[in-house]
Amino acid sequence: MSKQRSSKREYNSSGRQAQAKETRRRILEAARKLFVERGYAGATAEAIAAEAGVAAQTIYANFKNKKKILVSLINVSPTTGVDDSTPLDEQPRVQAVAQERDQRRQLEMFAQVVADNLEQVAEVFEIMVDAARIEPDLDRIIQKLNRQRLEHMTLAVQDIAANGPFREKVDKEYATDIVWTLTSGEVFLLLTRGRGWSKEKYAQWLADTLTKVLLR
């Protein structure tokens, strides 16, 4: 009898966790939509709640305020739709890039990971920069994210360089600057939003360009 109760408790707990995760996913999805459509100031917590089909109190219970929703959107996983705090170098797709030994294939895999991530965060980061004008403490977060991105691109270049030399006169510092620039949200949005490129076309362009610029 006690085993049946235990199983029932585990089932109920699992069900509640799944429901909570789905609620969080819906809130983040709704917030992203409204932030893009209305900007940070125009997307109120109440509007996000209505779009997600939840009570306003659920927004505050999950995220405390609108600013924390925006920050959480930076860490949304493309596969789960909810925020994921797993360090970048521990994520399976990033580890696969680091472990690949063929440089050209490595750059193709890297470009696809970058494209998937930018599809999630490029517009959100742009909104965050705009929101920093009325939420001054967001500027500290922006600076931290910029430092982290440079660190990630530096590690990526090191992983690629470990599999073979770069072209003549291309050192790791120069390679890092090139990678850091081409993988910026600004470049991604210029090509996808400004020129109508698909994410896939951007990924192919990024892989082709990095191969030509970096490799022999």
Beta carbons of 85 and 100 less than 8 angstroms apart: no
Residue 91: what are its φ and ψ, rounded to 5°? -80, 135
Lowest mean pLDDT among 1-15, 85-99, 156-170, 200-214: 1-15
11-48 pLDDT tens trace = 456 778 888 889 999 999 999 999 999 999 999 999 99
Cα–Cα distances in Å, from 169 out to 3, 11, 52? 69, 61, 53
Amino acid at 210: L
Nearest CA among 146, 212, 134 for reference residue 178: 212
- For 84, 164, 184, 185, the CA distances from 119, given in Å and listed in that order, are 16, 30, 11, 9
Same domain, yes or no, for 73 and 92?
Answer: no
| Contacts for 70 with CB less than 8 Å, ≥ 6 apart | 31, 35, 40, 124, 127, 128, 131, 138
pLDDT tens readout for residues 52-91: 999 999 999 999 889 999 999 998 877 677 777 788 778 8
Can you give the pLDDT at residue 33?
94
Residue type (1 letter), 127: I
Same domain, 23 and 113: no
Q: What tokens were used for 148?
A: 């982290």
Q: Which of 39, 58, 77 is the last residue of a domain?
A: 77
Residues 62 and 102 in one domain: no
Last residue of a domain, one of 18, 48, 77: 77
Residues 72 and 107 in one domain: no
Instruction: Indicate if 107 and 132 belong to the same structural domain.
Output: yes
DSSP conformation class of 167: S
**Number of domains observed in the structure of the chain:** 2
Tell whether 162 and 71 lie within a shared domain.
Answer: no
pLDDT at 158: 97
Whether residue 154 is found in the same domain as residue 209: yes
Burial class, 6, CB count within 10 angstroms (exposed 0-12 / middle 13-18 / buried 19+): exposed
- Please report, for the domain that includes residue 61, its CATH number: 1.10.357.10
What is the domain extent for residue 7?
1-77
Q: Are residues 201 and 106 in the same domain?
A: yes
Residues 101, 188 within the same domain:
yes
For 106-124, write each residue's pLDDT tens digit.
999 999 999 999 999 999 9
Q: How far apart are CA 65 and CA 78, in angstroms?
A: 23
- Residues 32 and 92 grouped into a single domain: no
What pTM does this model have? 0.86
Mean pLDDT of 123-136: 93
The whole-number pLDDT of residue 17 equals 82
pLDDT digits (tens, 9 = 90+) for 150-195: 999 999 999 999 999 999 999 999 999 999 999 999 999 999 999 9
Distance CA 207, CA 105 (A): 9
Domain end point (choices 77, 101, 118): 77
Residue 6: the pLDDT is 55
Same domain membership, residue 137 and residue 49 = no
- Give the mean model confidence (pLDDT) for residues 120-133: 94
Alpha carbons 214 and 9: distance in angstroms, whole number: 56
Q: Are residues 58 and 101 in the same domain?
A: no
pLDDT of 8 reads: 53
